[in-house]
Chains A and B, each alone.
Chain A
Amino acid sequence: MSTPDGVQESRAAWRLGIITPRRKRIFFGLLVVLGLVLPYLVYPVFLMNVLCMALFASAFNLLLGYTGLLSFGHAAFLGTAGYVTGWLLRSVGLPVELGVLAGTAVATVLGWAIGALAIRRSGIYFAMITLGFAQMIYFLAVQLPFTGGEDGLQGIPQGKALGFVPLHNPYALYYFVFAIFALGFAVIYRTIHSPFGHVLRSIRENEARALSLGYDVERYKLVAFVISAGLAGLAGSTKALVLQFVTLTDVHWHKSGEVVLMTLLGGMGTVMGPSVGALLVVAMENYLTGFGDWVTVIVGTVFVAGVLAFRRGIVGEALHLARNFPF
């Protein structure tokens, strides 16, 4: 991948001093404050949806943006974790935290199993293998009785966080989800900026070179895949808790396509890009419904325009602009 995209832009932004540690701290500080205040300004359920999808897209970006692997089956992890969490909370009656953790754990194990097989190939073949496995997960979701098939797994209780915070209160639930998002986001951030993340990027730039430098490329790819799958699972478990149901939509290949759109739109290979993309896509889905069947056309046009003209994505383009007009 030798295309101008987010990774180059954010690296340039660091090099040119547009991003400095100080600015970064202020930025994230403001972001946290914004995150805490926002539910009083914007509809909380919408925000929680955005946070879940932002985490999903950020996890996906770890793979696409930083490792150069396009998975076309990431919905499998989102959906599987959602189903597991939903079933554990509703039918087994586990506490909320354990349910979410268990969903994440199952997605992680699934990620390890699929990843170990898929990373043996790359490029378009990798995308196809992940799609193949995701279709099998979809088949299981349709066939297994506990998922509720087409009707979905409904009526997931929200319970109480830490045993006393009632999560059916939208504000309490929002802060719970925000905390999970912040945690997941921090894991991704740490991964990207660790020595491990640097190796991933070198694999993305030039796999042969990384191999010749003595890195066990396959293992690095696998670990990245597992982390990405696990965090996608965390997003899925949280989403199940927010919406109180899981349906086949969450394991359908459309969802896998949607996360590509979010990442591409926001800017792949940038830290904030996937979240911005998720915000836009979820907002389009929720606020453009009045346009009826034009929504598909609009989303398609955005996709095409993004690929043709804004391959850096929104955040990538913004960084690119900042490079030319340093402030």
Chain B
Amino acid sequence: MKRVASSLMMAALLSLPAAGRAADKISDGVVKIGVLTDMTGFYSDLSGPGSVLAVKMAVHDFGGKVLGKPIEVISADHQNKADIASTIARKWFDEDKVDVIMDLPNSGTAFAVMPVAAEKKKLTILSTAATTSITGDKCTAYNIHYTYNNWMLANGTGREVVKSGGNTWFFITADYVFGKSLEEDTANVVKAAGGKVLGYARHPQNSSDFSSYLLQAQASGAKVIGMANAGGDTINTIKQAKEFGITPKQTLAGLLVFISDIHSLGLETAKGMYLTTSFYWDYDDQTRAWSKKFQNHPDNAKKAMPTMTQAGLYSATMHYLQAIKAVGTDQAEPVIARMKAVPVNDFFARHGVIGPDGLHRHDAFLVQVKSPAESKYPWDYYKIIKKIPAAEAFPSVAAQGCPLAVKK
């Protein structure tokens, strides 16, 4: 019976009394940012600890306080599991008084957390999740999709590659919703630009061997092989394409490739590949200054340059805190209204505007991976082929069709 008594006491100790006063301008006297990300899995190098660092840097640079109240950053690992993500999100909102949840790599976790946040009237700011329907038919009034989406990736790479002569395509697609939607988005763009899609091969997620899919791609005779997959799958596809002598005869088009992937592959393997990114560290003085600060930060153990999602999170955090400062409260509705009303222009986002559907539209870049000979210094990886203006880089509000934004 002692056990019961002691576990009762444990329980009492564990649950801290929550005293919230709605009258406060800053709820609970603190602005709490929760970074919910993949700390250990497939996306941990491109988001993960680097995402947390980016948010912390932004809070530090903002001064650590807003409206005289402290800003706190907490983080957790959702392990790419939607159930864990949603459980943590609920707990954060209910118990830990978190005001905004950021990042959310992998669309599955994003779709699990977005409705929770909407129900609790709290913000989500997504950076790493990619699926276009996040601000389409599945949009919520409390969500901002900040860094990129499938449409941007498909459009930038698809159209430009067709224009430069790559008019026949074969897709190697991860066999799940993200991959299929990326393939579909890109195929539409390719066809619209006058190109032809010759076929596709679908592989289970996290495959290690791509040789058989590459053989199909080779047999199709397509000029371009579009890789509608992510993370380790993309890396292995690229590596094995080189091994089987497919590149450089056929060109690879990376649909979701991060600078961390290029770093891991090495230029010799990845050279010549086209991809679309919303951020490149070596674009101008502003991006270089911030990125070097990020790279040399003592908490950046691997001394890696920031990926676009990490840079995006810094920018998003700044924009969020400025909105709180401007409206004088951290309540979600006025803050999100302000974030949508004020354009974003900083080292990350150029001509950035957050639409009524929550999609942040800003300039993007089509880049090509340099060859080892062209690369002059560490992390000198991309040639910028073209800057894609915001209006072309992202779908219009009407095209997104978010019910909240369209009906008015």
| A interface with B by C-beta (< 8 Å) | 26-27, 30-31, 34, 37-38, 41-43, 45-46, 49, 142, 148-152, 154-155, 239, 243-245, 247, 249-250, 285-286, 289-290, 292-293, 295-296
Check A150–B94 contact: CB distance below 8 A.
Answer: no
Residues of A within 8 A of B83 (CB): 239, 243, 245, 247, 249-250
> Can you list 10 contacts pairing A with B, beta carbon distance less than 8 Å?
A149-B176, A149-B177, A150-B178, A151-B178, A155-B115, A239-B83, A249-B81, A286-B88, A289-B76, A290-B76
By the criterion CB–CB under 8 Å, are B87 and A243 in contact?
Answer: yes
* Contact call A26/B76, Cβ cutoff below 8 A: no
The one of A27, A31, A41, A243 in contact with B15, judged by C-beta atoms closer than 8 angstroms, is: A41
Supposing A42-B15, A149-B177, A151-B131 touch, asked if A293 and B88 sit within 8 A by C-beta, the answer is no
Smallest CB-CB A-B distances: 4 pairs: A150-B176, A289-B76, A293-B40, A41-B11
Q: Does B135 contact A (CB under 8 A)?
A: no
Given the complex, which residues of A lie within 8 Å of B84, measured CB to CB? 285-286, 289
> Looking at the complex, which of B105-113, B213-221, B348-356 is the stretch in contact with chain A?
B105-113
Residues of B with C-beta under 8 A to A250: 83
Chain B hits for A37, CB < 8 A: 8
Write the nearest CB–CB distance from B69 to chain A, whole angstroms.
Answer: 23
Is B7 interfacial (CB 8 A cutoff)? yes
Interface string of B341-353 (1 = CB under 8 A from A): 0000000000000
Whether A292 lies near B11 (C-beta < 8 A) is: no
B81 touches A292 (CB 8 A): no
Within 8 A of A (CB), among B160-178: 175-178
Q: Name A247's contact: one of B15, B87, B108, B204 (CB within 8 Å).
A: B108
Q: Is the interface of A mostly helix, strand, loop or mixed?
A: helix
Interchain CA distance A243-B40 in the complex, whole Å: 23
A296 neighbours in B (Cβ, 8 Å): 40
Q: Which residues of B contact A49 (CB under 8 A)?
A: 87
**By the criterion CB–CB under 8 Å, are B81 and A247 in contact?**
yes
- The distance in angstroms between the C-alpha atoms of A290 and B131, with both chains bound, is 27
**A43 and B77 contacting across the interface, CB-CB below 8 Å:** no
Q: Is B205 an interface residue (CB 8 A)?
A: yes
- In Å, the complex CA distance between A42 and B11 comes to 6
Q: Report if A245-B82 is in contact (Cβ < 8 Å); known contacts: A148-B177, A151-B111.
A: yes
Assess the A152–B112 pair: CB atoms within 8 A.
Answer: yes
**A243-B83, A286-B88, A286-B91 known; A150-B4 Cβ under 8 A:** no
Residues of A within 8 A of B299 (CB): none
What total of A-B pairs shows CB separation below 8 Å?
A: 104
Using CB atoms, name the residue of chain B closest to A240: B83
Q: Is the CB of A295 within 8 A of B91?
A: no
The residue on B at minimum CB distance from A289 is B76
Q: Are A292 and B108 in contact, CB atoms less than 8 angstroms apart?
A: no
CA distance A187 to B120 in the complex (A): 37
Residue of B nearest to A155 (CB): B115
Tally of chain B residues near chain A (CB < 8 A) = 39
Name the contact of B204 in the complex, choosing from A30, A46, A142, A148 (C-beta under 8 A).
A142
List B residues 336-391 near A (Cβ within 8 Å).
Answer: none
Q: CB distance A286 to B175 under 8 Å?
A: no
B1 at the interface (CB under 8 A from A): yes
A292 touches B39 (CB 8 A): yes
Majority-rule SS of B interface residues: helix
| B175 engages A142 (CB within 8 Å) | yes
Contact between B15 and A245, CB atoms less than 8 A apart: no
**Most chain-A CB neighbours within 10 Å: which of B4, B49, B108, B176?**
B108
Q: How far is the CB of B143 from chain A (nearest CB, A)?
A: 14
Complexed CA–CA distance, A34 and B14 (Å) = 15
The reply to whether B176 and A152 contact each other, CB–CB distance below 8 Å, is no
B87 touching A45, Cβ below 8 Å:
yes
The winner among A49, A142, A243, A247 for most chain B CB atoms within 10 A is: A247
Bitwise interface map of B from 1 to 31 toward A, beta carbon under 8 Å scored 1, else 0: 1001001100110110000000000000000
- With an 8 A cutoff between CB atoms, is B95 at the interface? yes
B95 near A292 with CB under 8 A, answer no
Q: Give A316 to B52 CA distance when docked, in angstroms.
A: 42
Interface residue? B86 (CB, 8 A): yes
Inter-chain contacts of A34 with B (CB < 8 A): 4, 7-8
Given A43-B91, A45-B90, A150-B205, answer yes or no on A247-B82 (Cβ-Cβ < 8 Å): yes
B2 → A minimal CB distance (Å):
9
Q: Cα distance A249–B109 when bound, in Å?
A: 12
**Contact B112–A292 (Cβ < 8 Å):** no
Alpha-carbon separation in the docked complex, A292 to B84 (Å): 14
Q: How far is the CA of A249 from the CA of B77 in the complex (A)?
A: 15
A292 to B301, CA, bound (A): 14
- Bound complex: CA A157 to CA B236 (Å): 40
Residues of A within 8 A of B12 (CB): 41
Q: How many Å from the CB of B19 to the closest CB on chain A?
A: 15
The answer to whether A30 touches B15, judged by C-beta atoms less than 8 angstroms apart, is no
Please, which residues of chain A bring their CB within 8 A of the CB of B78? 289
Complex partner residue of A150 from B1, B88, B108, CB under 8 angstroms: B108
Residues of chain B contacted by A42 (CB below 8 angstroms): 11, 14-15
Known A-B contacts A42-B14, A45-B90; A292 and B40 likewise in contact (beta carbons under 8 Å): yes
Of chain A, the residue at the smallest CB distance from B179 is A150
List of A residues within 8 angstroms of B49 by Cβ:
292
Interchain nearest-CB distance for A243 vs B (Å): 5
CA distance A290 to B108 in the complex (A): 21
Could you mark each residue 47-76 of chain B with 1 if its beta carbon is under 8 Å from any beta carbon of chain A, else 0? 001000000000000000000000000011
- Is the Cβ of A142 less than 8 Å from the Cβ of B176? yes
Collect the chain A residues with CB atoms within 8 Å of residue B108's CB. 150-152, 247
Tell me, rounded to whole Å, the shortest Cβ–Cβ distance linking A100 to chain B: 18
Instruction: Enumerate chain A residues within 8 angstroms of B7, measured Cβ to Cβ.
Output: 34
Given A42-B15, A292-B39, A295-B77, A152:B82 Cβ within 8 A: yes
Say whether B95 contacts A43, CB under 8 Å: yes
Minimal beta-carbon separation of A145 from chain B (angstroms) = 10
Q: What separation, in Å, do the CA atoms of A271 and B175 have in the docked complex?
A: 42
